[in-house]
Structure 1
Amino acid sequence: MKDLNIPVNDIAPLIEIPDYSLYYFIAVVIITVTVTLALILALIKQLRKRKINVRKERFKALSAIDFSDPKRAAYTITELGRVFASDNERTSKAFHNLFERLAPYKYAPQVKMIDEETLGYYRLYVEIIDV
C-alpha cells in the first residue's frame, strides 16, 4: 500500500480572514438614522417657521381691512379674527364681543357703514393680538 501523506507544495495553508461586515452594517445604520433624524428636525423647524409666517400674514391682512364695503369687512374680520381668538382668554373674549357687534352687518341684505363703537372693538382686538 502506498503512503497517503504526500506533501503538496502548490497549495497554501488556510488563513483566517477577519470579518468586519458587522461593523460596516452598524456604521451604515447609525449614519442612516442620523441623516433621517436631521431631515425630520429640519422639516419640523421649517413647518414651525411657516406657521409663524402664516399668522403674521393673517395679522397684516386683519390690520389692513377696507371698511368701504361693510358686509365684506365684517365677514373678513370674522374669518381672519377667528385665527387669533384661541390664543388666550383675553383675545377669546374680545373676539366674542367683536363677533356679536359684527353680526348685524353680515346677515342683512343692505347694511349701513360700521359704527364707531364696533370699530373701537375691532381696533382693541387688533391691539391685543400677539404675533
Structure 2
Amino acid sequence: MGQPFVRPVTIRFRHCDPAGIVFYPRYFELMNDLVEDWFADGLGVSFAELHDVRGKGIPTVNAQCRFSAPSRLGDVLDCSVAVVRLGNSSATLAIRFAGSDGNVRVRAELVIVLMDLQSTRAVPWPEEMRAALGGFLVDNDSFDVE
C-alpha cells in the first residue's frame, strides 16, 4: 500500500465569507489545486503537460463531500489526497483537510477520469501513470475516510 500526498495550505482572506470561515465552494477549488499539485509533484506530470503535450484532461465526474468543522482565516490545513480505487480510465480519490490539531475538517471522495481532449472520451491510463497512481493507493479505512 502507498501513502497519501500531503500539502499544507494556508487559509487566505479570499477563501472566507463575511463570517470569517471558509465558504464551502472554496474547498472544491482547494481540492482542485491539491489534485493539480499532486499530478505535478507526486505523479510527475503537470496539467500543462497533460493538456498541451499529451492532449488529455482529468475531469472530475463525481464529487462527495462532508464538512465536519469550520476553517478560519490564517488556519494551516494539511491537505491529503490518496487513491482508494484505480480503474481502467478512472481513479477514486480520497481527500481530507485536517487542522493543526489533527482533526479532519473536510472529507471528500472524487472520481476523476483520464479523457482524450479531442474525442472527449475516456481513455485507459498509460502504464507509467497507472504505476505512479498505484504508489498512492491506500486502504480506505486506513485513510480515515467515511
Q: TM-score, normalised by structure 2?
A: 0.22
Q: Which structure's CA Rg is the greater one?
A: 1
Bigger relative contact order, structure 1 or 2 (CA pairs below 8 A, ≥6 apart): 2
Greater share of strand residues, 1 or 2? 2
TM-score normalised by length of structure 1: 0.24
